[in-house]
Homo-oligomer: A and B are copies of this chain.
């Protein structure tokens, strides 16, 4: 539902620009704390601005989300870059997952787009790129014998959901608790003596569908 005066060609008045800035900052904070379900009214309130101002500047939620998540999405890429450099793939994987988890926990909105399986579709190829890095790392880890038999790529996505979901519930009470279970899960995904292969896998379509539900697909 685009409003007539949204996305102007000319520049904004000085005060309007300042307000826009405030709105983006408020949205970033709010989305980070509570995920993309935060509404326009709330963003406006946190920005110390009328609701009208928010609707005036952003045609729809996607536009606001994109503005609010630009920066965190870049961090995601950087983190991936650092992880591929590890000499042993499993170490890189642990580093990557630890970093991603931290990023997603610190910004639940980012989680919604990164793990949402297109639930909030804005075209984010950053996510694609990170996924590729992860897939490569996984393959290398398998070759190096560190990956438990039967583990598939989407297992990692599920692990991220599990852990970030825990963080969402525990964050206020006991910050950082999620790292404990990330460790447990990763250790369970690693190969080792007496480890039976993982059975009963699942398809990529199933994974995507689950993710969309988890993100609260609109």
Interface set of A (CB-CB < 8 Å, partner B):
155, 158-159, 161-162, 165-166, 169-170, 172-174, 176-177, 179-181, 183-189, 192-195, 198-202, 206, 209-210, 213-214
Instruction: Check B185–A202 contact: CB distance below 8 A.
Output: no
Instruction: Check B202–A174 contact: CB distance below 8 A.
Output: yes
Partner of A184, one of B161, B170, B185: B185
Instruction: Check B188–A185 contact: CB distance below 8 A.
Output: yes
| Complex-state Cα separation, A125 to B155, whole angstroms | 37
Asked if A200 meets B213 with Cβ closer than 8 Å, knowing A162-B162, A184-B188, A187-B188, the reply is no
Instruction: Check B169–A210 contact: CB distance below 8 A.
Output: yes
How many protomers of this protein does the assembly include? 2
Which chain B residues border A177 with CB–CB below 8 Å?
200, 202, 206, 210
Instruction: Check B189–A192 contact: CB distance below 8 A.
Output: no
Instruction: Check A189–B200 contact: CB distance below 8 A.
Output: no
Partner of A165, one of B165, B172, B199, B206: B165
Which chain B residues border A200 with CB–CB below 8 Å?
176-177, 179-180
Query: In the complex, which residue of chain B has the Cβ closest to the Cβ of A150?
Result: B180
Which chain B residues border A187 with CB–CB below 8 Å?
187-188, 195
Which chain B residues border A189 with CB–CB below 8 Å?
184
Which chain B residues border A214 with CB–CB below 8 Å?
169
Query: In the complex, which residue of chain B has the Cβ closest to the Cβ of A198?
Result: B180
Partner of A162, one of B155, B166, B183: B166
